[in-house]
Amino acid sequence: MTTHDREFRAAGVTVGELAPRLRFSLRLRPDNLPQARLALGLDLPEKIGGLVTAGQRRALCLGPDEWMLDCAEGDRPALPAGLPHALVEVTDREVTWRISGPRAAELLSIGIARDLAALSPGKGCRTAFGSVQAVLLREGEDSFTLSVWRSFASHVAGLLAIGQRELACGL
């Protein structure tokens, strides 16, 4: 793998698999947002694509009633039993890569049809990478994280490796 690493650095972009983080899927009616915000200590964003961090907890709004929560190890968010909601742990569902470097957006554009320039740092979205559903977060100008369901991981990793090789060759 070392030769690959060197090759990939030459491509102006590095791809690394991240250690799994505790991740939850939260479904909730927007009317119940104020109560949920209070219980979680997180100002859950209402706008789709919005990302909010409070301490070790982070929430990304994926849909009008859907959020993805990332938490630190051992931190288990809970909502009051009387509040209608679904909060499910999905830590093992996805594989997450960090894709960073000056050509990170270019590498992602091999699989994502969306205009990545329109995704500003500190925002995220659910989209498709190489026809696989993926959650993309723009952590910084040149840094992204991409999560796909585990069963598609080898397909996506293969596409990323091909893309890196293409960039390294100057294609």
Partner 1 sequence: MLLIHCPYCEETLPEAEFAYAGEAHIARPADPMALSDEEWRDFLFIRSNPRGTHFERWRHLHGCGRFFNAVRDTVTDKFQMTYKAGLPRPDLSAMKEAAE
Q: Which residues bind partner 1 (CB under 8 A)?
A: 48-49, 62-64, 66, 113-114, 118, 125-128, 131, 133-134
Which alpha helices (H) appear in 2-97, and where do they start and end? 2-10, 33-40
Nearest distance, CB of residue 89 and partner 1, angstroms: 20
Helices in 11-152 by DSSP H: which ranges?
Answer: 33-40, 104-108
Query: In angstroms, what is the minimal distance from the CB of 131 to partner 1?
Result: 7
- Decide: helix, strand or coil at residue 69: strand
Spatial distance between the Cα atoms of 61 and 20, rounded to a whole number of angstroms: 20
Counting every residue written for the chain, the total comes to 171
Minimum separation from the CB atom of position 125 to partner 1 (A):
7
For partner 1, the closer of residues 51 and 168 by Cβ is 51
Rank residues 94 and 101 by Cβ distance to partner 1 and give the closer one.
Answer: 94
Going by C-alpha positions, the residue among 103, 107, 102 that lies closest to residue 129 is 107
Of 12 and 122, which CB lies nearer to partner 1 in the complex structure? 122
Three-state DSSP string of 73-103: CCCCCCCCCCCCEEEEECHHHEEEEEEECCC
Residue-wise burial string across 33-54, b where 16 or more C-beta atoms lie within 10 A, e elsewhere: beebeeebebebbeeebbbbee
Nearest-approach distance from CB 150 to partner 1, in angstroms = 17
Q: Which is nearer to partner 1, 131 or 154 (CB)?
A: 131
Q: Which is nearer to partner 1, 98 or 114 (CB)?
A: 114
Report in angstroms how near the CB of residue 56 gets to partner 1 at its nearest.
26
